């Protein structure tokens, strides 16, 4: 990043300076992701009954917003350079971009082996991957300037980098926003899940079914199940739990089970993992 700033200022390349700004967000993304992992690992407390797992989502949201803000700045600079082009040293741009490609290939390979199902890890990966693509665009622009002398190619490359940042940032903000707004996780539709639960023998109805994520990879579900007369509500609850686990991988469910007729018979709510009775 430091080399890009120095060479970018010496060569007059906006594309290299854009890459340097992107690399700054890369370092920031990795640092925030590591910090979020440490905080999220803390056990639940009385006030934070889920622990601090959602810090990972806030980390991803912050990384996405950083990308979008930087993209807006470099887009404005790129357009101004197209209107009023600056002289650019193509050779310096190509050499620096090729070195950046090598570094980011190694970083991308390392992060691919991480658990990218976690949104904050995926955010760090998207930062590095988009930076790799940005270096490729910068190298191509440097070659164009070197061969043809068309200095606007450098500004075009900076706009390509800005577009990559917008793509990665938009995805992160959208996905993190879905978790924060407690939307249903990808691949889970409340109506379809209700219909599936109704296929369990003796289930007469399902209402108030809600499914959301505490953090990425931690789906949670609650529902009110009505059992047909004569059915064993405890057996139905166990069957529904197993069905949701096998079909959707949901291991934390809170199910309120009642008989469809006769409000005098009620089954206690049940959550996974089961709570142990504590003698008083």
Spell out the per-residue pLDDT of the chain, length 280, in tens. Answer: 888 888 888 888 888 888 787 777 777 777 877 887 788 788 887 788 777 878 888 888 888 888 888 889 889 988 998 998 888 888 888 998 898 889 888 888 887 777 766 766 776 777 778 778 888 888 998 899 888 889 889 889 889 888 888 888 898 889 888 888 888 988 899 999 999 999 999 898 999 899 998 887 788 999 999 999 888 888 999 999 999 999 998 988 999 998 876 544 445 444 444 434 444 3
Q: Which CATH number fits domain 190-271: 3.30.300.30, 3.90.920.10, 3.90.550.10, 3.10.20.30?
A: 3.30.300.30
Using one digit for the tens of pLDDT, what is the confidence trace for 161-190? 888 888 888 988 898 888 888 889 888 999
pLDDT of residue 280: 37
pLDDT of residue 261: 67
Closest CA to 25 of 68, 72, 63: 63
Q: Where are the domains of the chain?
A: 2-180, 190-271
Q: Which CATH code for domain 2-180?
A: 1.20.1510.10
Using one digit for the tens of pLDDT, what is the confidence trace for 129-145? 877 888 888 899 889 98
Q: Which two tokens stand for residue 137?
A: 């665009």
Q: What percent of the chain has pLDDT over 90?
A: 17
Q: What is the 3-state secondary structure (H, E, C) of the chain?
A: CHHHHHHHHHHCCHHHHHHHHHHHHHHHHHHHHHHHHHHHCCCCCCCCCCCCCCHHHHHHHHHHHHHHHHHHHHHHHHHHHHHCCCCCCHHHHHHHHHHHHHHHHHHHHHHHCCCCCCHHHHHHHHHHHHHHHHHHHHHHHHHHHHHHCCCHHHHHHHHHHHHHHHHHHHHHHHHHHHHHCCCCCCCCCHHHHHHHHCCCCCEEEEEEEEEEECCCCCEEEEEEEEECCCCCHHHHHHHHHHHHHHHHCCCCEEEEEEECCCCCCECCCEECCCCCCCCC
């Amino acid at each position: 990043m430091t080399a890009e700033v120095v060479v970018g200022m010496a060569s007059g390349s906006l594309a290299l300076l854009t890459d340097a700004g992107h690399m700054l967000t890369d370092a920031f993304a990795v640092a925030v992701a590591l910090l979020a992992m440490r905080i999220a690992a803390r056990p639940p407390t009385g006030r934070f009954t889920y622990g601090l797992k959602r810090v990972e989502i806030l980390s991803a949201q912050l990384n996405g917003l950083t990308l979008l803000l930087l993209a807006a700045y470099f887009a404005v600079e790129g357009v101004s350079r197209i209107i009023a082009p600056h002289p650019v040293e193509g050779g310096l741009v190509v050499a620096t971009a090729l070195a950046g490609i090598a570094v980011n290939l190694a970083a991308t390979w390392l992060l691919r082996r991480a658990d990218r199902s976690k949104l904050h890890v995926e955010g760090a990966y998207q930062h590095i991957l988009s930076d790799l693509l940005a270096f490729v665009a910068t190298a191509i622009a440097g070659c164009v300037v070197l061969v043809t002398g068309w200095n606007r190619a450098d500004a075009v490359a900076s706009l390509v980098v800005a577009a990559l940042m917008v793509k990665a940032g938009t995805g992160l903000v959208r996905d993190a926003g879905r978790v924060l707004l407690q939307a249903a996780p990808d691949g889970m539709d409340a109506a379809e899940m209700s219909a599936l639960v109704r296929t369990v023998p003796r289930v007469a109805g399902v209402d108030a079914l809600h499914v959301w994520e505490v953090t990425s990879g931690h789906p949670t579900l609650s529902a009110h199940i009505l059992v047909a007369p004569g059915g064993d509500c405890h057996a139905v609850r166990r069957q529904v739990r197993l069905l949701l686990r096998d079909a959707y991988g949901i291991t934390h469910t809170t199910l309120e089970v009642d008989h469809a007729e006769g409000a005098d018979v009620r089954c206690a709510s049940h959550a996974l993992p089961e709570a142990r009775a504590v003698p008083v």
